[in-house]
Amino acid sequence: MGGAGSGRVRCSGSKAETGDYRCLDIRMLRRDGAFEGEGAGKVRWRRRGVCRGEVAYLSGTESLTLGYTYRRAGAPLEDIVQHIRVEWSECYLGGKRPWFLCPEDGCGKRVAKLYGARVFLCRQCLGLTYASQREGETDRAVRRAERLREQLGWHTGILTGDGGKPKGMHFTTFFRLRQEQEYYRQKALVGLAEKMKFLPDH
Ligand SMILES: [Zn+2]
């Protein structure tokens, strides 16, 4: 064992959508001594001086194994071990540089950066995971709004205007249902707008 020590790896220039995710940059790992034979080290992420995550790694010349604990609010801690393949390419001016192969099934894309949600993925795979998660939330908001519109006796369709108070319904009930409907309608509209905007660029 030798090579890499413990280092702090930061990524600059990450876009807004990836800003909340931990980023592994292969060039920084290499600067830290990884991939020169077998080595071990740690990557830590900090935000305003506070540690936001830590991953231990073992590197070989063509592999990187990550070990870390994943924390999701309200869920038990999960120990994760992830294997990532590393490939080398010749540089134009001589020398070689390493690349991660995205570990997601069916992807395998050559990338310099991987982003950590539960596991580390390329930017495009992360975008798809993020989009499908948001899509689920948006669909639920649409269904909630539609159910409330039904209770209010309004026309279906969150883009249709509001109706009035149904005959015989108490005002307090009406105001509450109307307010709830507006809340889910807004949530759904924001989700739909985001879906149209969210296109990972590579
Ligand atoms: Zn990928």
Q: Indicate if 73 and 146 belong to the same structural domain.
A: no
Does residue 202 fall inside a structural domain? no
Does residue 171 fall inside a structural domain? yes
Distance 120 CA to ligand 1 centre (A): 9
Q: Indicate if 165 and 100 belong to the same structural domain.
A: no
Per-residue pLDDT tens over the stretch 40-89: 999 988 877 777 788 999 999 999 999 999 887 778 889 999 999 999 99
Distance 43 CA to ligand 1 centre (A): 21
pTM of the full predicted structure? Answer: 0.61
Distance 7 CA to ligand 1 centre (A): 25
- Work out how many domains the chain is built from and give that number: 2
Does residue 96 fall inside a structural domain? yes
Domain containing residue 32: 6-121
Does residue 103 fall inside a structural domain? yes
Q: What does the pLDDT read at residue 114?
A: 95
Q: Indicate if 58 and 105 belong to the same structural domain.
A: yes
**Boundary of a domain, candidates 73, 91, 121:** 121
pLDDT-based confidence at residue 153 (cuts at 50, 70, 90): very high
pLDDT at 190 over 70: yes
Q: Indicate if 13 and 82 belong to the same structural domain.
A: yes
Distance 49 CA to ligand 1 centre (A): 30
Distance 29 CA to ligand 1 centre (A): 19
**Boundary of a domain, candidates 86, 121, 156:** 121
Does residue 126 fall inside a structural domain? no
Does residue 86 fall inside a structural domain? yes
Q: Indicate if 53 and 108 belong to the same structural domain.
A: yes
CA geometry: angle at 139 spanning 135 and 141, to 5°?
A: 115
Q: Indicate if 115 and 183 belong to the same structural domain.
A: no
Does residue 1 fall inside a structural domain? no
Distance 28 CA to ligand 1 centre (A): 20
Distance 153 CA to ligand 1 centre (A): 46
Distance 109 CA to ligand 1 centre (A): 6
Q: Indicate if 12 and 110 belong to the same structural domain.
A: yes
**Boundary of a domain, candidates 56, 86, 121:** 121
**3-class DSSP string for the chain:** CCCCCEEECCCCCCCHHHCCCEEEEHHHHHHCCCCCCCEEEEEEEEECCEEEEEEEEEECCCEEEEEEEECCCCCCCEEEEEEEEEEEEECCCCCEEEEEECCCCCCCCEECEEEECCCEECHHHHHHHHHHHHHHHHHHHHHHHHHHHHHCCCCCCCCCCCCCCCCCCCHHHHHHHHHHHHHHHHHHHHHHHHHHHCCCCC
Q: Indicate if 101 and 57 belong to the same structural domain.
A: yes
Distance 83 CA to ligand 1 centre (A): 14
Does residue 187 fall inside a structural domain? yes
Q: What is the mean pLDDT of the chain?
A: 84
Q: Indicate if 13 and 97 belong to the same structural domain.
A: yes
Q: Torsion angle of alpha carbons 115, 108, 131, 156, nearest 10°?
A: -170
